[in-house]
Amino acid sequence: MGEIRFLEDHRTWVLTGTSSTYALRLDEDDVPAHVYWGPPLAAADVVELAGKTLPWWDGFNDPNEGLGELAADGGTRYWTPALQVRFADGTRALEWRYETHEITGDHLAIRCTDRHYPFRITLHYRLRGDVVERWTELAADTEAEVIRADSATWALPVFEDYRLSHVTGRWAAETQLRRVPAPHGETVFASRRGITGHHANPWVMVDDGTATERHGEVYGVALAWSGSWRLTTTRSSTGRLTVSGGFGQDGVVHRVGPGKPLTTPIAAGLYTRGGFGAASRAWHAYVLDHVLPHPGELRPVLYNSWEATGFDVTEAGQRALAERAAALGVELFVMDDGWFGARTGDHAGLGDWQVNRERFPDGLGPLVEAVHGLGMKFGIWVEPEMVNPDSDLYRAHPDWVLHHPHRRRSELRNQLVLNFARPDVAAWARGWLDRLVGEHGIDFLKWDMNRPFSEAGWPGEADQDRLWVDHTRAVYALMDRLRADHPGLRIEACSGGGGRIDLGVLARTDQVWTSDNTDALDRLRIQHGYSHVYPARAMSAWVTDNPNFVTARSVPLRFRFHVAMAGVLGVGGDIVRWPVEDVALARDLIALYKDIRPVVQHGAQYRLRPPADDGVTALQYVHGGRAVVFAYRQAAHFNAPERPLRLDGLDPAARYRDADTGRTHSGAVLLAHGLVPALPAGDFASTVVRLDRIKI
């Protein structure tokens, strides 16, 4: 349990986490300023650091730059601003001061006001173990324009050097890990697309350049937001580095005034001193304990029909797939696109969410009943935020899409984006989704979002910029309401693959579709980058057919299964056409996955060897007295002998039995020397090792 204290004599707040401390104070101008973030410190030790503001060195260098808890624009503050405000008379400089604060359990609220204008700023802090959640609330009695409203500024200790870890990518190549020296000046990671984006993800880790998977201090910041976002690292010549982040983008202005407050999304910060592996495990624990709606559940093995049928969806075809899926041991059957309206391809019908009666003469009821009768839950694909111009919905409501009156309406994938910031659009979506789920007993929604914003206008609305925030919040509100009205409903977030993966969407979904690329070799890298912040419990991974539709590569079925079994296992191939031997192998591997699923989905993850080359990649999960090791050889060269894998997270005083061979191992030996995984010969070799702690 954490603790928040206010040291009144020193005007300092100390937030003590499980194994870290965060501290801030009021400076001489009554403005919150950063004091400390790092390993645990007693309150008395923090006081030693909470000194006075230092004088300027000269007319150009301020030794306190970057120490503002929320770097505000104005006066002689030249650091990257986290808060920029323009008042009605044109004044842009913000002068604010402390008024009061409240500590309620694990929550601290610091209330400040501008020294002249009726503008209020509340800084929020909440302790979640070693994660500090921060957000900002803005309010005003007269209208003001907020040009930038980040959730927080995070000041790091002064190191000899800094290194940034983050992910980049594109469609079908998401979450590719990058580690680079931190440049001087500003480095911006962002999405201007209205969604989280395939090209970057809203988190960054910082170390001094020496951290490894197992050793070293690591700082991380992650943003809980599924719309446009921005994270900025600023490194000065004086040696300081900060991270500032929030929603929005350049050119988008938030209006704050009477009855129109602005609350930023959560920016979560984490300090660990056990390397990148410990940082990832701490993020995973945070997501499981404080973000996911049903973290204690075991996610079911699912089957998805997309790659088997595409848009050629019929009741008979889905029944055949469902029967084969049930025989394999699948627990959730998901029918993908093509079940509604004139949806025989991606060119028409999107937005007309009525069951296609030519394909389902008696509606969805008989298929849902058949799937339930086979002992599986029933899921269905939806894309509520999109519309085809060739649809009855668009013909009736062309004003419902994002558009400008004198500009083209750019189509991507033959789609336009519906403006969920409009109450009538949000109400329409809630109506048909509520009916779909309620009338048919739907257990699972695959919620897709297949294109970014363009022409983001709202003709007739005085404050058109608000759609950038209000659209995302309306999606959140709709998901929240559906879940409240249908407690058994579970949701997977999808956005052309991994275009909407973040802490904000994970707070209202149960899993995320990691990438449209199901090639097992590529997935090793995608899943590696994903794992740096997000847990296996939420990572949907499918086994699909050869050759892979993205890469045209053929990979053995066992290897494909073993890669997908490192997350939430799914099957997406044309299983009706699978040969007998593949069906038998799949059935066995699904049974194996169900045995190890509690360890994979709820255990601590250790990345033993990253997929840095075409050699052996390995990872391990530990939960209670069980451990599971996955090892993958991508390519064999020169008949090289296998090297032992040094395991992690085990009890050195215990012994562990291999569930398949019966052989026992010393925990100390597995930690110090390692385990030889005994991979089969050749390329694309893989194995799963199950270790059970023995009571001695």
Which region among 41-55, 524-538, 680-694 has the lowest average model confidence (pLDDT)?
41-55
57 is in an annotated binding site: no
CA distance 261 to 137: 7
Instruction: Please check if 413 is assigned to a binding site.
Output: yes
Q: Tell me the pLDDT band of 391, cut-offs 50, 70 and 90.
A: very high
User: Residue 346 in 3-state DSSP?
Assistant: coil
Side chain identity at residue 369, one-letter code? E
Q: Of residues 127 and 63, which shows the higher confidence score?
A: 127
Domain ranges of the chain: 3-270, 302-602, 609-694
pLDDT score recorded for residue 666: 97
Answer yes or no: is 448 a known binding residue.
yes
What is the mean pLDDT of the segment spanning 164-177? Answer: 98
* Contacts (Cβ under 8 Å, ≥6 apart) of 460: none
Name the DSSP letter for residue 415: B
Listed in sequence order, the residues at least 6 apart from 534 whose beta carbon sits closer than 8 Å to its beta carbon are: 283, 284, 287, 501, 506, 512
Alpha-carbon distances of 102 from 97, 118, 123, 193, rounded to whole Å:
16, 21, 11, 37
The average pLDDT across 522-542 equals 98
Query: Is 588 labelled as part of a ligand binding site?
Result: no
pLDDT digits (tens, 9 = 90+) for 204-227: 999 999 999 999 999 999 999 999
What gap in Å lies between CA 54 and CA 47, rounded to an integer? 16
Beta strands in 305-350 (DSSP E): 332-335
pLDDT at 239: 87
Q: So what's the pLDDT on residue 56?
A: 77
In this model, does residue 546 exceed pLDDT 70? yes
Q: Is 171 assigned to a binding site?
A: yes
**pLDDT at residue 172, as a whole number:** 97
pLDDT > 90? residue 696: no
79 annotated as belonging to a binding site for a ligand: no
Read off the pLDDT of each residue in 560-588 and give the average, rounded to a whole number: 98
Q: What are phi and psi of 481, to 5 degrees?
A: -70, -40
Distance CA 426, CA 432 (A): 10
How far are the Cα atoms of 7, 192, 475, 512 from residue 197, in angstroms, in the given order?
A: 42, 8, 16, 13
Q: Is 450 known to sit in a ligand binding site?
A: yes
Q: What 3-state DSSP class applies to 281?
A: helix
Report the alpha-carbon angle 645-649-652, nearest 5: 85
What angle separates helix 580-602 from helix 557-564, to the nearest 10 degrees?
A: 20
Tens of pLDDT, residues 138-161: 999 999 999 999 999 999 999 999
Token pair in block for residue 425: 């659009």
Q: Which residues pair with 113 in a beta bridge?
A: 97, 120
- pTM over the 0.85 mark: yes
In a 3-state reduction of DSSP, which class is residue 239? coil
Report the pLDDT averaged over residues 44-65.
Answer: 85
Q: pLDDT digits over 476-491, tens only?
A: 999 999 999 999 999 9
Q: In what order do the strands lie in the sheet with 21-26?
A: 3-7, 12-16, 21-26, 32-38
* Per-chain mean pLDDT for the chain: 96
CA distance 442 to 301: 17
Q: Quick check: bond before 547 cis, omega within 30? A: yes
- Read off the pLDDT band of 263 (50, 70, 90): very high
Q: Calculate mean pLDDT across residues 327-338.
A: 98
Q: What is the pLDDT of residues 619-653, one digit of tens each?
A: 999 999 999 999 999 998 888 888 999 999 999 99
Closest CA to 300 of 354, 371, 362: 371
Give CA–CA dist 228/100, Å, rounded. 32
Q: What one-character DSSP code corresponds to residue 575?
A: G
Q: Are 408 and 455 in contact (CB under 8 A)?
A: yes
Cα atoms in the 13 Å half-sphere on the side-chain side of 639: 0
- CATH of range 302-602; options 3.20.20.10, 3.90.550.10, 3.20.20.70, 1.10.150.300: 3.20.20.70
DSSP β-bridge partners for residue 356: none
Q: What is the pLDDT of residue 1?
A: 64
224-240: b (≥16 Cβ within 10 Å) or e: bbbbbbbbbbbbbeeeb
Would the pLDDT of 128 be above 90? Answer: yes
DSSP conformational letter for 70: T
Mean pLDDT, residues 68-77: 92
Q: What percent of the chain has pLDDT over 90?
A: 94
- For residue 232 the two structure tokens come to 């900025």
- pLDDT single digits (tens) 402-435: 999 999 999 999 999 999 999 999 999 999 999 9
- Residue 248: φ, ψ to 5°: 95, 180
Q: How confident is the model at residue 52 (pLDDT cuts 50, 70, 90)?
A: confident
**Architecture, CATH, for domain 609-694:** Sandwich (2.60)
Give the catalytic positions in this structure: 448, 516
Q: Which residues in 39-68 are b (16+ Cβ under 10 Å) and which e?
A: eebeeeebbeebeeeeeeeeeeebebbbbb
Most confident of 50-59, 66-75, 361-370: 361-370
The pLDDT assigned to 75 comes to 87
pLDDT of residue 2: 84
| Span 531-552, average pLDDT | 97
Annotated binding-site residue? 62 = no
Whether pLDDT at 595 is above 70: yes
Q: Which fold has domain 3-270?
A: Beta-galactosidase; Chain A, domain 5 (2.70.98)
